[in-house]
Structure 1
Amino acid sequence: MKKYFFLAVLSIITSRLFSQSGNITLEDIWVNYRFYSSGIDDLNSMNDGLYYTINNEGKSIDKYEYKTGNKSGELFTVDLANGAITAFEDYEFNDDETAVLLKTNIEPRYRWATFDENYVYDLKSKKTTKLSDKGKQMYADFAPTGNKVAYVIANNLYYNDLNTNTETAITTDGKLNAVINGGSDWVYEEEFALVRSFEWSPDGKKIAYYRFDETEVPDFYMTTFKGQLYPQEYVFKYPKVGEKNSKIEIYIYDLATKQKVKINTTDPEYIPRIEWIDNEHVCVTTLNRLQNNLKLLSVDANTGASQILLDEKSETYLEIKDDLTFLEEGKGFIWSSERDGYNHLYLYDMTGKLINQITTGKWDVTEYKGYDRGSKNIYYVSVEDSPFERHLYCIKLTGKDKKKLTAQQGMNAVEWSKGYKYFINTHTTYTSPEYVTLHEATGKEIRVLEENKELRDDLKTID
């Protein structure tokens, strides 16, 4: 959002540089960043939705109240790690917020994935545990039970039982430029934004994971410069147009029995997503190579048998979105589709039968913001007011009781706290910088977080 506003302002300014060259210099734009707007720090909502945490320069995790903005304490400081780490770059709490995963020495891979050294700090026992001594980890992720962490090292999938600090290898056949377990290849990370390629079951007893066989994918050679005197050659698997892709298999690993079940997916070209429906079933999204035929499969986690939930076709192209939500107690699922010519939300039962279309109209839903299981509200952003605006709405599963929650004309970018207690709205227009506000779930404004007053005043001088 900040980038788009800057570009909009820049287009206005450059058209006036010659008429008002005394007011604006290139140094103002490119050196002093005079026309950049300020936002707010990255906030991580806590489970209650009333408080959030921030990373305080890698030295502590600070807790604040949404409503007042007041700091209420420090949940972790590096001093508590007893020398295990001196700083951290990122963090993630387990589901019950009794432990925190601390990421250090982060090294990027391609676009999204990273190699990290991870530590777990237990807020109750005050104990710090190094996740593994085998090397840097990728995709470290807590089990829903909070007492285990799964991760990938050297293309093999592992998990650590934090109660005993015992590391278990789920796979052993991983090999560079040959087999990847639990991670994604270049195509999936770049084209489908699939980074972590494994998912814990809701009860933490099973893990569904990808196995990429890259052996038939052609090699790509790249010269890299990393500060040394001579360059190095980096080789990775990269399928160009018409070449073979990785062969994909999905397995389900049972932590208790150590047995694996292979999912029957009828060998599609792509499997861009997997998601647990409940403890016994996994939803697998498949896509043909032309990317115009998408299927949702419901898979029995104990046998690997699958049945089709949804089969969607397009004459052009189907985009992969993360809008799939399974309702509680097997009551159905929410899905977004352009089947009527516009992107809208739909409700299906668990046999794949359409119950009803939730949103309708000659406009697109641009963002699905989630489903509140408490209020039974669906939240989404759309262009129904104007193609030049974005507004937040809530609506029931039946498609009734629709309410508009943002009032200001222009672009509204919304982020919710957990439990849909509050949302932070970043408002911009073509001529005004970010105006960031905190709201109740009803849309009522609570307080202003950032108004960029100095920039607004500065812009008035060049009107």
Structure 2
Amino acid sequence: MTMANAADHETSGKLTVERIYADPSLTGPAPRSVKLSPDGKRVTFLKGKEDEQERLDLWEYNLADKQSRMLVDSADLMPGEENLSSEEKARRERMRLFAKGIISYYWGDDGETLLFPLGGDIFVYDLTKDAEEATKQLTKTDAYETDVKLSPDGKSVSFIRDQDIFMVDIESGKERQLTFDGEGTIKNGMAEFVAQEEMGRLTGYWWSPNSKKMAYLKVDESPVNIEKRYEINAEDFEVFEQRYPSTGTNNVLIKLGVLDLESGKTTWVDTKTQETAEETDIYIPRVKWLRDSRRLSYQWESRDQQTLKLMFADVETGKSNVILTEKSDTWINLTKDLYFLKRHNAFVWSSERSGYRHLYLYDLKGNLINQLTSGDWVVDKLYGVDEDKGLVYFDANKETPLEQHLYSVPMNGLGEIKKITQQAGVHTASFAKNMELFVDYFSSVKQPPQVSLRKADGTLVTWLEKNELDEDHPYFEFYQKAAKPEFGTIEAEDGQAMYYRLYKPTNMEKGKQYPVIVDVYGGPHAQRVTNTWGARNTYWHHMMADRGFVVFSLDNRGSWNRGKKFEDPIYRKLGEVEVKDQVKGVEFLKTLPFVDAERIGMFGWSYGGYMTIMSMFKEPDVFKVGVSVAPVTDWYLYDTHYTERYLGHPKTNEEGYEQSNVFPYLEGLKGDLMIIHGMADDNVLFTNSTKLFKALQDANKPFDMMNYPGSKHSIWGQKTRTHVFNTITDYFEKHLK
């Protein structure tokens, strides 16, 4: 089928790419960014407009009157399109956030104040005032304020402007600049590139609990190489001279300081220890205040990412102490699992020292009090502690790697772990400050996202969005005819179980064999095969199954949420065990009577794009058609923190780098390969694809390409995404059917 007749499916009642990316969303009216107010009286959330799902407004559900209502209409405050700064565009790309309107908001500790940025300015909403007077604009400048935060006492708002930290008093509107040397290569309170892209740290400053001090990072980018990056748009192009730390090159210099807001003085933290006295080439991936506001914790990570130290600093002197140290022969995964108790001199910490991530209780001197969880399963996220009940709450995959549930465990380590959520699928939670209520965000392959308010024991208080898949649901008519997934396991060569998901063609004929699309990611820190509603990926799988394809996904070794033994085989050489495991998946597929072994294709994005190319090059007799989107082709072009985590420093592993790149294997290409890339990609640079284009041309290897002017790594936008997936669909229809 070609794009020209793609619309034919629209009239035949079948799912199309056009419908997948149209409004209203097929997922249904699931609210986003759901939070409980500190006083537990309200649940707030962001909700898209019916006619424009990606334009978000601020809503509340009031527990007293059991009513939902819009608090702030984003279109009233900003009727036109938002003109994003380059810094904000980059932040949103790092967050994979593509909505418009009110995209984030924050509660004040008083439970009466809400803060949100919009259009580059800052607004507060006062719940004690009438609706007409509740919204107050705090800034109105040509500059673009980013990383907006509300002080814990609810009296001030802080933000970044022109590479410095500012604050504004909510009552008076008086503005104050806090740092003054942010310009050129110096950035105050801002997260450096690798922190945003690879560490999950999008900020560089933190209020103290008593609102009297502010910890912040001063980043000096001067040691980092200047790379010229071209962003090619439809009618012009821009050349960016970006400080980009390619693997093996210099990182930023980083300092941690504590600013006293009364005096304006900064005390710099001594981040060196006896063991690391000469070491400046480090990362600071996490910073968090202790509850007394006199001590600041930060995590010190070595460049090779095999050592992680939890440090406490005295904010008056800047002196640091090592509280605990984690070591690994491969790498240490970062988390945000650090919780300081309110009434006990202790904290909860997670560690993979056993091979699986589990929870531990320490005193403030770093002495282990209790190991709270154990077993061959993974704690995914620590939510907090109810000290009155002595319970620690966390998410984990204790019963099966396909699901995620909320659990509690006694803080004293003497009781059993209790499973709180019961419905089969994937649950994530957002707790009230007092840990008595939580919002449960749930979905499964049979249920699009549901949001409910529950007591800490799991008892339902109310539905915030039941999102039932009934006749009124936008996906109902398609779901009735959609292929349903089958799950199972395949044994890797080392005996470990790998989970797969399989969609059979919707209307199978007896004795007929069908082509297969292997939809792959395959890289670290991702899990594709779960019992969850997969949104647009799921819809495309359903659509392709309806068009006569088998759709198959396998989480190979190296992927996430299975423990370090499952992840570590990729260390120091990428694209080897991952490809072997995907071939194992195909060997399983070939045992199925309805699979055509001669028509196996692969599709992947980012690391999945890399996997597609490696599989096509290394196993040309297995994979006959491939569509690779935004692929890494040369790991020398990727950044320090990600690449060195898995491959080490290039000087110590030159062979591993060469064998992990795609170029040594391109002579193996036999089948049909389509490469797709955004021409303004600042994550996996477009150079990855252009370098491969040239190499394939020099080798006289035919291939196809589709490039998107102005698009970054996610190639986002309704029209653009529609074209991308029609292109992918067409390619498999033409070459694999």
The residue that corresponds to 1:108 in the other structure is: none
Aligned-partner Cα distance in 2 for 1:77–1:409: 36
Residue 442 (structure 1) aligned with residue 457 (structure 2): yes
| Contact 2:121/2:145 (<8 A) preserved | yes
* Cα deviation digits, residues 336-375 of structure 1 (max 9, x gap): 0011111100000011011110011121112222223443
- Superimposed CA distance per residue, residues 276-314 of structure 1 (whole angstroms, 9 cap, x where no aligned partner): 012100001110011110001110011101111111111
1:385–1:232 distance in 2 versus 1, CA, 3 Å = same
The one-character-per-residue Cα deviations of 1:366-420 (angstroms, maximum 9, x if unpaired) are 2222223443321112222122222221111122242111222333333434433
Structure 1 letter corresponding to 2:193: W
Q: d(CA) in 1 for partners of 2:116 and 2:220?
A: 31
How do 1:241-256 residues align onto structure 2 when only pairs under 5 Å count? Answer: 241-256=247-262
Paired positions, count: 427
The one-letter amino acid paired with 2:60 is: K
In 2: Cα distance, 1:24 partner to 1:438 partner: 40
Q: CA deviation at 1:50?
A: 3.6
Q: Specify whether residues 263 and 422 from structure 1 end up closer, same or farther in structure 2 by C-alpha distance, changes over 3 A only.
A: same
SS in structure 1 at match of 2:313: strand
**Aligned-residue RMSD, C-alpha:** 3.2
Q: Which runs of 5+ in 1 are unaligned?
A: 1-20, 106-115
For 1:366-385, list aligned pairs within 5 A: 366-385=380-399
Secondary structure of 2:172's counterpart equals: coil
User: After the TM superposition, which of the residue ranges 40-49 and 283-292 deviates more from structure 2?
Assistant: 40-49
2:20 is paired with a residue of what secondary structure? coil
Q: Would you say the 8 A contact 2:57–2:102 is kept in 1?
A: no
TM normalised by structure 2 equals: 0.53
1:304-453 pair list within 5 angstroms: 304-399=318-413, 400-430=415-445, 433-434=448-449, 436-448=451-463, 449-453=466-470
Instruction: Say which is worse superposed, 452-461 or 252-261, in terms of deviation.
Output: 452-461
Query: Aligned to 1:270, which of 247, 258, 283?
Result: 283
Measure, in 2, the Cα distance between the counterparts of 1:199 and 1:345. 25
| In structure 1, C-alpha distance between the alignment counterparts of 2:478 and 2:73, rounded to whole Å | 39
Determine which of 212, 217, 242 is the counterpart of 1:210.
217
Q: Distance in 2 between matches of 1:74 and 1:389?
A: 33
Equivalent residue of 1:136, what SS? coil
Provide the C-alpha distance between the structure 2 equivalents of 1:432 and 1:93, rounded to a whole number of angstroms.
30
1:32 pairs, out of 16, 19, 27, with 19
What are the superposed Cα offsets for residues 122-154 of structure 1, whole Å, 9 maximum, x if unpaired? 556747343363611111111111111111111
Q: 1:254 to 1:345 in 2, by over 3 A?
A: same
- Separation in 2, partners of 1:434, 1:84: 29
Residue 160 of structure 1, aligned match among 155, 158, 168: 168
Q: Name the stretch that deviates more: 136-145 or 117-126.
A: 117-126
The answer to whether the 8 A contact 2:38-2:107 is kept is no
Instruction: Map Cα deviations across residues 149-208 of structure 1 (whole Å, 9 max, x no partner).
Output: 1111111111223343332222211113x1110011211111112112100111110000
Structure 1 pair 433–138 and aligned structure 2 pair: CA distance change class (3 A): closer
- Offset of residue 457 of structure 1: 7.0
Give the partner amino acid of 1:308.
V
- Structure that is richer in strand per residue: 1
Question: Aligned pair in 2 of structure 1 residues 78, 412: CA closer, same or farther (>3 Å)?
Answer: closer
Aligned-residue offset at 1:424: 3.8
Q: 1:120 aligned to 104, 121, 124, which one?
A: 124
1:164 partner letter: S
Q: How does 1:84-123 map to 2 (within 5 A)?
A: 89-90=102-103, 91-105=105-119, 116-122=120-126
Q: Which moved more, 1:61-70 or 1:327-336?
A: 61-70
Structure 2 residue aligned with 1:63: 60
Do structure 1's residue 192 and structure 2's residue 199 form an aligned pair? yes
Find the partner of 1:47 among 20, 30, 38. Answer: 38
Shift in alpha-carbon separation, 1:76–1:32, aligned structure 2, 3 A: closer
Structure 1 CA distance for aligned equivalents of residues 10 and 165 of structure 2: 59
2:206·2:215 contact (CA, 8 Å) conserved in 1? yes
Mapping 1:121-136, distance limit 5 Å: 121-122=125-126, 126=133, 128-131=136-139, 133=141, 135-136=143-144
Kindly state the Cα deviation for residue 77 of structure 1 after the two structures are TM-superposed: 6.5
Task: Provide closer, same or farther for how the CA distance between residues 181 and 226 of structure 1 changes in structure 2, counting only shifts above 3 A.
Answer: farther
> How many angstroms apart in 1 are the aligned matches of 2:193 and 2:326?
26
Shift of 1:236: 1.7
CA contact (8 A) 2:405 2:427 kept: yes
The residue aligned with 1:9 is none
Q: Which structure has the greater CA radius of gyration?
A: 2
Q: Distance in 2 between matches of 1:25 and 1:299?
A: 66
| Mapped pair 1:289 → 2:303 | yes
| Rounded Cα–Cα distance in structure 1 between residues aligned with 2:476 and 2:442 | 13
Structure 1 counterpart of 2:225, one-letter code = P
Label 1:148 to 1:305 Cα distance change in 2 as closer, same or farther (>3 A): same
Q: Is the 8 A contact 1:330 1:350 kept in 2?
A: no
Partner Cα separation in structure 2 for residue 59 and residue 269 of structure 1: 39
- Check whether the contact 1:61–1:76 (CA below 8 A) recurs between aligned residues: yes
User: Aligned equivalents of 2:186 and 2:43: distance in 1?
Assistant: 40
Partner of 1:171 in structure 2? 179
SS in 1 for 2:434: helix
Q: Which amino acid aligns with 1:271?
A: I
Higher share in helix: 2
Q: 1:381 to 1:456 in 2, by over 3 A?
A: farther
TM-superposition CA deviations, 1:415-454 (whole Å, max 9, x none): 4344334334444444554455443321223455222224
150 and 411 in structure 1: CA distance in 2 versus 1, 3 angstrom threshold: closer
- Write the letter of the residue equivalent to 2:20: Y
Distance 2:457 2:123 in 1: 39
One-letter amino acid of the counterpart of residue 417, structure 2:
K
The 3 A distance-change label for structure 1 pair 77 and 433 is: closer
Gap runs ≥5 in structure 2 = 1-7, 50-54, 81-100, 273-279, 484-737
The percent identity for this pair of structures is 27
Partners in 2 of 1:101 and 1:40 — Cα distance? 22
Contact 1:46 1:52 in 2 (8 A): yes
Report the CA distance shift for 1:24/1:387 in structure 2 as closer, same or farther (over 3 A): farther
Structure 1, 360-369 or 147-156: larger mean CA deviation = 360-369
Taking a change above 3 Å as real, the CA distance of residues 46 and 402 of structure 1, as seen in their structure-2 partners, is same
Deviation at 1:243, TM superposition (A): 0.5
The answer as to 2:247 corresponding to 1:237 is no
Which residue of the partner structure matches residue 492 of structure 2?
none
